[in-house]
Amino acid sequence: MPSITEENYLKALLRLGNEPLAEGQVGTNELAAYLQVKPSSVHDMLKRLRNRGWINYQKYGKISLNESGRALAVGILRKHRLWETFLHDTLGFSWDEVHEVAEQLEHIQSAKLIDRLDFFLGYPKVDPHGDYIPDSDGHLEPLAAIPINQVETGEVVTLLAVKGNDPTYLQYLSHLEIRIGIEFKLIERVTFDGSLVIEYMGKRQTISRMTAEGLLVSRNT
Amino acid sequence: MPSITEENYLKALLRLGNEPLAEGQVGTNELAAYLQVKPSSVHDMLKRLRNRGWINYQKYGKISLNESGRALAVGILRKHRLWETFLHDTLGFSWDEVHEVAEQLEHIQSAKLIDRLDFFLGYPKVDPHGDYIPDSDGHLEPLAAIPINQVETGEVVTLLAVKGNDPTYLQYLSHLEIRIGIEFKLIERVTFDGSLVIEYMGKRQTISRMTAEGLLVSRNT
DNA sequence: TTTACTTGTTAGACCTGCCTAACTTTACTA
DNA sequence: TAGTAAAGTTAGGCAGGTCTAACAAGTAAA
Ligand SMILES: [Mn+2]
Ligand SMILES: [Mn+2]
Ligand SMILES: [Mn+2]
Ligand SMILES: [Mn+2]
């Protein structure tokens, strides 16, 4: 059974390996930056994770999860997202408050607890940020969504999920009345700085490129 | 903020200090036995807890929590018992399953989570084992109950709480249909080995001294 | 009051997880 | 293709938390 720290490394490898272009391959410095530790610390841990049989790694090579490491990481992600859903739906936390607490709760070891929580919540498919919750068999649906800045002017799209855990970002979206499931029409793209003008709920709003990058949408059929 | 290990030591000091005759005073070996570590490890930790300002302790002397240490310990106990109540009442865990998981959940750091959980559960007064749940101000009602073997023959008493976390003990009680709130009449005391014959729910049952010691009852008015 | 036993402390070691500083390898650019 | 910048590794060290083995204090009985 992995320690809490080991679990956080495994989860980070899953996350970073799923980035577009990453193809499961992650670098030492990248991991260090993401986990807010030094590359030398990462290197120590990588040796341990390899000895424990969870990753593929050799000196100066890229890192990837193997089957058992990926299974562990997906299990932690499942717990994280179920807890976020519990905090939001049952206890009334706002979507910007859930991540931090779920970072702790995801490390509780009890299969029964997670099964019962899943049942209690009605087997939810997505968490409060629109991300898919892995099922109990370790299946994780890939999110078929693109950032809204990759959409053509005039298109109408639906917000499937938001990317990023920064509470101030999520609070800002709430302030703009942007929620999962909302429909946007892309009115205009500002070539100068990549800002977008979007229309939703009968109003027009300009959002910066940075804000737009976190809005993951599907093209409406 | 205490580490998880520090929290477990503080909680143990509260627990052992509340034993009858202990009067807040606890010994090194006693603590070591309770926490399943060696006395030398305890000694190391005691120095740390003293430096952190949570206990009164000097070489070769007895150990006691000070005000701030006690407040921390009571806070952890509150979380432990609220989580046990959640697991039991909301998720349908049996009373022998809740303790182990609550040992983990009690260390989650989030005041809001505990407040909301308390609200969600309807501000429960007692946990699944009949123990009082400290309130959010740190008040912990002392349990006015005695082990059933201190009761006179012929007396009728009510089961207020059970003592001990051993799942097999709790399962055995369930098997005997013994639950919190039940009424017992003490029929007979076996002087040889301290066994008791009790009557409840229309049946007679012999229980060993060991079993009886965990049944905390109140004399009926 | 000396002895024996129990309780508590110290020294030295190990593992986890992190750091800094110095080094090596790889990748890219001139 | 050499030279440099970036990425990655090594050595050595530190704090938390534990251990074993040896030692010191306190306690209680002879
Ligand atoms: Mn999250
Ligand atoms: Mn985490
Ligand atoms: Mn318990
Ligand atoms: Mn605990």
Strand D footprint, Cβ within 7 Å: A 27-30, 39-40, 43-44, 46, 59-62; B 3-6, 36-38, 40-41, 44-45, 48, 60
pLDDT value of position B21:
77
Residues A97-119 have a mean pLDDT of: 98
Q: Which of B113, B115, B118, B120 is the best mutation test for A, with the most CBs of A within 10 A?
A: B113
Residues B20-32 have a mean pLDDT of: 87
Task: Mark yes or no for CB contact A104/B104 under 8 Å.
Answer: no
Nearest residue (CA) to C1' of C26: A60
What element of type H or E holds A51?
helix A39-51
* Six-digit token string for A213: 């990058």
The answer to whether B3 and B35 are in contact (CB under 8 A) is: no
> Per mean pLDDT, which range of A56-60, B53-57, B207-211, B216-220 is the poorest?
B216-220
CA–CA gap between residue B215 and residue B173 (Å, rounded): 10
Nearest-Cα distance to chain A for B169, in Å, is 21
Task: Mark yes or no for CB contact B112/A97 under 8 Å.
Answer: yes
The answer to whether A58 and A66 are in contact (CB under 8 A) is: no
Q: What's this model's pTM, rounded to 2 decimal places? A: 0.95
The answer to whether A184 and A118 are in contact (CB under 8 A) is: no
Strand order in the sheet with B156-162: B146-147, B215-219, B156-162, B183-189, B196-200, B203-207
CA–CA gap between residue A113 and residue A111 (Å, rounded): 5
The answer to whether B57 and B89 are in contact (CB under 8 A) is: no
The amino acid present at A92, given as its one-letter code, is G
Residues B115-143 have a mean pLDDT of: 97
Residue of A nearest to B107 (CA): A104
Residues A135-142 have a mean pLDDT of: 95
Surrounding ion ligand 4 within 5 Å at CB are: B 8, 103
Helix (H, G, I), strand (E, B) or coil at B55: strand
- A157: phi then psi, degrees, rounded to nearest 5: -135, 165
Instruction: Please work out, in degrees rounded to the nearest 5, the angle formed at the alpha carbon of residue A134 by the alpha carbons of A132 and A135.
Output: 125
Helix (H, G, I), strand (E, B) or coil at A216: strand
pLDDT value of position A180:
97
The answer to whether B215 and B159 are in contact (CB under 8 A) is: yes
What element of type H or E holds A184?
strand A183-189
Q: Where are the alpha helices (DSSP H) in A121-202?
A: 167-175
pLDDT in tens, B168-209: 999 999 999 999 999 999 999 999 999 999 999 999 999 999
Residues A150-170 have a mean pLDDT of: 96
Burial class of residue B220 in the structure, from the number of CB atoms within 10 Å of its CB (0-12 exposed, 13-18 middle, 19+ buried): exposed
Taking all residues of chain A, what is their mean pLDDT, rounded to a whole number? 96
Question: Is a pLDDT exceeding 70 seen at residue A28?
Answer: yes
All structural domains of chain A: 4-65 (1.10.10.10), 80-142 (1.10.10.10), 146-219 (2.30.30.90)
Nearest-Cα distance to chain B for A142, in Å, is 30
Q: B102 CA distance to ligand 4 centroid (A)?
A: 7
Question: Is a pLDDT exceeding 70 seen at residue B221?
Answer: no
Task: Mark yes or no for CB contact B108/A109 under 8 Å.
Answer: no
pLDDT value of position A24:
73
